[in-house]
A and B are shown apart, each in its own frame.
Chain A
Amino acid sequence: MKTSIGTEIPEFIDKKKGRGRLKPFEGAWTRLQKGWMDEPTVSLPTKAKMPHVSKMEKDLKTAIEKTGPRDGMTVSFHHHLRNGDAIVNLTIDILAELGIKNITLAASSLTSVHRHLIPYLEDGTITEIWTSGMRDELGTAVSMGKLAYRAVIHSHGGRARAIRTGELSIDLAVLAASAADEEGNATGCHGPSAFGSMGYAIMDARYAKQVIVVTDNIVPYPCFPVSIEQTNVDYVVKVDSLGDVKKIASGTTRITKKPLDLRLASLCAQVIEHSGYMENGFSFQVGAGGASLAAAKYVNETMKKRGIKGSFLLGGVTSYVVELMEQGLFESVFDVQSFDAAVSSSLLNNRNHIEISSDMYANPFNCGSMINKLDVVVLGALAVDVNFNVNVITGSEGTIMGASGGHCDTAAGAKLTVVVCPSFRGRIPSIKRNVHHIVTPGESVHVIVTERGICVNPAYKDLEARLKKAGLFIRDIHDLHDRVDKLTGVPDPIEYKDRVVAVIEYRDGTTIDVVRQIKC
């Protein structure tokens, strides 16, 4: 069957756990118009603890054994430890040692360090994955069909939705914290492995049937700020290390010095300046990637020049974004994920820097998340197509190598969505007739900024007129696509097998695209 944007998806994938039937994507905002949704809201698990009985367990294995692990269970994790994470691998090692099979791995995202899990895909320990993204060898392994069932690629808002509606039902959440007390109150704001916000863990803690908090830093009761509440935590484990501290507590994210990224960022800032949305009280989100973050630098300069003061900054937060608030250019920062450790101290000490859950950040199925109040977002892309559809999940070889993140969430929410993307990387064009896989539908993308011209979605004529009036180099995306193809040539199409290895969910739970197994 076809989605509303023409992607071809099967009606059924597999019948595991009764989740085989796919709902086709109907449009970025179509389902939201209903208001009261058909999906259920799952109730929180009801549990009790006796007074003064310790939740502390001597090690993670003991704690896991107490949760009653079983075949077919779903185990969840957050990805706030970035590429320094050891807890996902350690937990799955233990479950494998206990002989547990058929696990659904539900990590808010997976990074290069999780290549360690590939043998568990091959031996049937892990048979299903729910995640925002996968990198390197793990992404390639899934693309090659090493997972018994399919993976589900969701957005951050989509994950919150899936947990709330029970589509993603978590049996055990193992949540790493840089500080916690013996009752399970936990935070990522302080401690030797401080990593900042625990925004993606909050929904897991609330809805998982059982929760283990793992920390390298037990602090006297009570631990605060309370990112994870003790009322949701079953067991607490002290470990020697959460992983590679250098990669967990990575320092300040610096603005890129790459000329091309800076050029893209400068053009992006000019688009924002002349879009009509940069005015007092505007809200703003940028990513941590080269050109996206650099755009914040140029926006900063323009705001100062024009005497503009914004409202709130949202999303994944870098120390540079915190600086914007500290300089008085924005009132507050709402932080679902901190991209560098320097953010932690701000989150701890600045009352205008507020930790939020993924539900508050971007869940489409609640009474309105913060992306609904977002004015401007700057996003990156692996590739875009002439219909403004964006791929942030698969690379030029068709294998999974990226992450959905908050891309489609923020694009759907923002009044102005700007995607920055070089027109080609190496010799591979990034502007395509059709992207390999769609994560964010073109209808929610307003502008694509490349070094060879700025393309405005034809659905937004007024915006195009404003940018043209400002003297920006606006060109038709088909024209840009033709030019880029002339420079790079057209890559041969990728050959896939029929089997679906990953479903790309739109934020509302419909399927916007599928990734099929690559031929190799």
Chain B
Amino acid sequence: MGNRRSRKRRSMLYIPGNNAAMIQQGGVYGADCILLDLEDSIAPGEKDAARILLKHMIPSVNFYGAEVVVRVNHPDTPFGHDDLREIVPIQPDALRLPKIESADDVLRTIRLIEEIESAHGLPHDRLTVHAMIETAVGVENALSIAKASPRISSVTIGGQDLAADMGISLEKNSRGLDYASQRIVMAAKAARIEAMDTVFVDVDDEEGLREAARHAKEMGFTGKAAINPRQIEVINEVFTPTEQEITRAIDVVSAYNRHKAAGVGVFALHGKMVDAPVVARALHVLDLADIDPETL
């Protein structure tokens, strides 16, 4: 757990919150984020066991720098309040709030979080929130959700639940979620936060996963969830800038640094105009590639 704002979030590995062996190994596969689940992957009879397990394991397990996110149950379920009561005090990097449908919805949960934080003398700015949009109403309210609170660091699309809500089936290469995805991505961009894509369920289809990840990247998602550690490498690879992209970004930022010293804001590089947005994009690529622009 650590500096959450500047970290990469290319891949997020789902791990059921009641599986101690998987939690303990979660950090070794190279995922940028680990999602420890208390919601859909945990049967009602196992909810309390999973919650207790996470409460003890999160502070003691080495996740090797991955962002640790806990998906809690919605406060309207019988488990949501207990989840918050146990998990908020241990302050993982983030909480993922499922089935968010409106700004009020997410703000209500954030108020609960802050009440618990206050009771434990914890600050209100360490734990961030991922708002998970999984219903048609949520999609239509994406922008207000994304902008509801500065504590929201990411909006995500819950593909399976959303497909169910829309009454569609998710076949390979289906485009039924494209509108929802674009709307959620645009809301995230407008709010200057991240957007995480849904899971790809066929763990044996590496090429299908690669294609789905590429599509997500093209749409503007910053990363994609994984349901099996075998999926992480492909996702990371797709969301990592290519050598060509990195070279181009280095050229742009190097040229920008030179022109900035001369007081020039817009210039041409290899015959193409470079202005502030192009530089911002190049800086983002360098960030994803772990290159410090100051060193160029």
Contacts and interface: CB of A to CB of B under 8 A. Distances in A.
Nearest to B22: A259
Contacts of B204: 257
B230 A257 contact: yes
6 contacts: A257-B204, A257-B230, A259-B228, A262-B229, A263-B229, A451-B25
Most buried by A among B28, B29, B64, B204: B28
Contacts of A357: none
A451 B64 CA distance: 11
A487 B204 CA distance: 31
Contacts of B202: none
A259 B24 contact: no
A483 B28 CA distance: 14
Contacts of A257: 204, 230
Contacts of A487: 24
Contacts of B228: 259
Nearest to B30: A263
A451 B230 contact: no
A263 B24 contact: no
Nearest to A263: B29
Interface in A438-495: 451-452, 483, 487
A99 B137 CA distance: 86
B233 A259 contact: no
Interface in B3-26: 24-25
Interface of A is mostly: helix
Q: A259, A266, A451, A487 — which one has the most chain B CB atoms within 10 A of its CB?
A: A259
Given A260-B28, A452-B64, A487-B24, 13 more contacts: A259-B29, A259-B228, A259-B230, A262-B229, A262-B230, A263-B29, A263-B30, A263-B229, A266-B233, A451-B25, A451-B28, A451-B29, A452-B28
A487 B25 CA distance: 11
Contacts of B64: 452
Interface residues of B, number: 12
Interface in A43-65: none
Nearest to B28: A451
Most buried by A among B25, B30, B64: B25
Interface string A220-263: 00000000000000000000000000000000000001011011
A446 B124 CA distance: 49
A260 B230 contact: no
Contacts of A262: 229-230
A487 B62 CA distance: 10
Interface string B12-49: 00000000000011001110000000000000000000
A445 B123 CA distance: 50
A162 B230 CA distance: 44
Contacts of B233: 266
A266 B30 CA distance: 11
B171 to A, nearest CB: 23
Contacts of A451: 25, 28-29
Interface in A250-309: 257, 259-260, 262-263, 266
A259 B230 CA distance: 5
Contacts of B29: 259, 263, 451
Nearest to A298: B233
A257 B233 CA distance: 14
A233 B101 CA distance: 82
A296 B25 CA distance: 24
A53 to B, nearest CB: 59
Interface in B183-216: 204
Nearest to B231: A259
Interface in A388-409: none
B26 to A, nearest CB: 11
A269 B30 CA distance: 15
A285 B233 CA distance: 24
A259 to B, nearest CB: 4
Contacts of B28: 260, 263, 451-452
Contacts of A452: 28, 64
A260 B229 CA distance: 8
Interface string B40-64: 0000000000000000000000101
A257 B231 CA distance: 11
A260 B30 CA distance: 11
Contacts of B229: 259-260, 262-263
A97 B72 CA distance: 70
8 closest A-B pairs by beta carbon, nearest first, are A259-B229, A451-B28, A259-B230, A263-B29, A262-B230, A452-B28, A266-B233, A263-B28
A260 B233 CA distance: 12
B59 to A, nearest CB: 14
A470 to B, nearest CB: 13
A263 B64 CA distance: 14
Contacts of A266: 233
B258 to A, nearest CB: 28
A452 B29 CA distance: 9
Nearest to B229: A259
Nearest to A471: B290
A266 B236 CA distance: 13
B230 to A, nearest CB: 5
Interface string B221-243: 00000001110010000000000
A257 B62 CA distance: 24
B34 to A, nearest CB: 14
Contacts of B230: 257, 259, 262
B235 to A, nearest CB: 13
A452 B62 CA distance: 10
A260 B25 CA distance: 9
Contacts of B62: 483
Contacts of A483: 62
A451 B22 CA distance: 13
A425 to B, nearest CB: 11
Nearest to A259: B229
Contacts of A263: 28-30, 229
A131 to B, nearest CB: 35
A482 to B, nearest CB: 12
A452 B61 CA distance: 13
A473 to B, nearest CB: 8
A314 to B, nearest CB: 28
Contacts of B30: 263
Nearest to B290: A471
Interface in A476-520: 483, 487
A56 to B, nearest CB: 50
